[in-house]
Amino acid sequence: MNITPIPGGVCAARGFTANGIRCGIKQSSKKRDLALIVSEKRCAAAAVYTANLVRSAPIKVTKAHLADGHAQAVICNSGNANTCNANGVEIAEGMSRLVEQYTGIAASDVIVGSTGVIGQPMSLEPMEKGMPELVAGLGDHSDFAEDAIMTTDTVPKQAAVEFEISGVKCRLGGIAKGSGMIHPNMATMLVWVTSDVDITPEMLQKAVSEDVKTSFNMVSVDGDTSTNDTFAVLANGMAGNPVIDRAGEDFDAFRAALHAVTVKLCRMIAKDGEGATKLLTCLLTGASDEETAKTVAKSVICSSLTKAAMFGADANWGRVLCAIGYSGAQVDVDRVDVSFRSKAGQVDVCRNGAGIPFSEEEAKKVLLEDEIDILVELNSGTASAEAWGCDLTYDYVKINGDYRT
């Protein structure tokens, strides 16, 4: 299947424009803090949300708006999570009405997102003042929208691809924010994806719900699950492909394109974990079944001791074995092999659950790189899984020790 990376983020697909401005929600910052994404046509829409029982008001409003499987715009602010606020739903609904007032798109067709500090008072006033500028500047500005949803992120996260469905060229692209409070089920702060594919809401929801199991649910930075996590996809049908209303080759092509974008965003989120210096990928093979593979891979990537060892470029494979052992999966630890790999090479450190001789000097070279693969072979079957995380550094505590101040 030919899936080609292209520029453009959420503006890569036909009929989508975006913008991001500074309206003053982040009062002590000159950074952008309000984003808007708009489609020319009403879209099929689908989303999945955080598993945290404490949920933001925007999630409650968005779930209600997506009950009919359609949307046409996304409005999102950073600097305030709009979570645990008495007037939270009122604010989120107010954001939707502002979009309706300035674009003509029905408030009920607006997805709402917020990210930032939990429990802080929030007002519509900054957004009311900023809306004329935000709407007037709508265009090919995926980068502005991305910038406006970032909090502790240090790098932008956007991706887009071009692919074919029944001989018709289609596009799909997305932006994401996420650096801290990243943990499986869901495992991102906010992800907005757009596409010009013609697909029914039911099939779109199926694609999104399945994709997250092997993308955002396989990312962990710090073991904390956010209150605001939302992964939403809008598809406006402007590519002109035959409508996807059932499983088959066209649906598979769409799912593959979606996964190409979400995996790239996953890697960006993990590599940009708060204070992180390295992207860690656990490549788990030889499991007895898929659930075992996913459980073990996530356990390795979530291990604080493994993360700390990777920060120190210490080939302490015992910490990997330890994480496998407490994962809860039924694994024969006497059959486990472990290796570390990077662009500097590969070092095998464990065979059949026991250490083997290796060069500490060569291992150090491998682990000093900024992207490291932790290769785990269970030798018990054919199932595999991939999970992403980052190292644990001094800066993580520093960032979160004074997050509000």
Domain boundary among 271, 296, 322: 271
Query: Cα 389 from chain centroid?
Result: 12
CATH of residue 303's domain is 3.10.20.340
* 369 and 254 in a common domain: no
* 284 and 256 in a common domain: no
Number of domains present in the structure of the chain: 2
393 is a catalytic site residue: no
Q: pLDDT at position 55, please?
A: 80
Tell me whether residue 60 is exposed, middle or buried, using C-beta atoms within 10 angstroms of its C-beta: 0 to 12, 13 to 18, 19 or more. middle
* 88 and 229 in a common domain: yes
- Measure the CA dihedral 105/85/217/244, to 10°: -20
* 289 and 266 in a common domain: no
* 177 and 147 in a common domain: yes
Question: How many residues are there in the chain?
Answer: 405
* 385 and 287 in a common domain: yes
Question: Which residue among the candidates 188, 194, 225, 306 is catalytic per the annotation?
Answer: 188
What is the pLDDT tens value at each position of the chain, 405 positions in all?
A: 799 999 999 999 999 999 999 999 997 778 999 999 999 999 999 999 987 777 889 999 999 999 999 999 999 999 999 999 999 999 999 999 999 999 999 999 999 999 988 889 999 999 999 999 999 999 999 999 999 999 889 899 999 999 999 999 999 999 999 865 556 555 446 999 999 999 999 999 999 999 999 999 898 876 666 667 899 999 999 999 999 999 999 999 999 999 999 999 999 999 988 889 999 999 999 999 999 999 999 999 999 999 999 999 999 999 999 999 999 999 999 999 999 999 999 999 999 999 999 999 999 999 999 999 999 999 999 999 999 999 999 888 887 777 555
DSSP 329: S
Q: Where are the beta strands (DSSP E) in 322-400?
A: 337-342, 345-351, 354-355, 371-377, 383-390
* 165 and 194 in a common domain: yes
pTM to 2 decimal places: 0.91
Token couple for 227: 């209150």
Q: Which SS3 state, helix, strand or coil, does residue 10 take? A: helix
Q: Tell me the one-letter amino acid at 133.
A: E
Domain with 226, as residue range(s), is 4-271
CATH of residue 91's domain is 3.60.70.12
* 266 and 355 in a common domain: no
Q: pLDDT at position 404, please?
A: 58
* 293 and 256 in a common domain: no
* 394 and 254 in a common domain: no
Q: 88-103 and 57-65 helices cross at what angle (nearest 10)? A: 50
Cα–Cα distances in Å, from 118 out to 83, 146, 238, 290? 5, 21, 38, 36
* 287 and 201 in a common domain: no
pLDDT tens digits, one per residue of 176-216: 998 655 565 554 469 999 999 999 999 999 999 999 999 99
Distance CA 132, CA 233 (A): 26
Tell me whether residue 67 is exposed, middle or buried, using C-beta atoms within 10 angstroms of its C-beta: 0 to 12, 13 to 18, 19 or more. exposed
Q: pLDDT at position 325, please?
A: 97
Strand partners, 173: 160, 194
* 61 and 209 in a common domain: yes
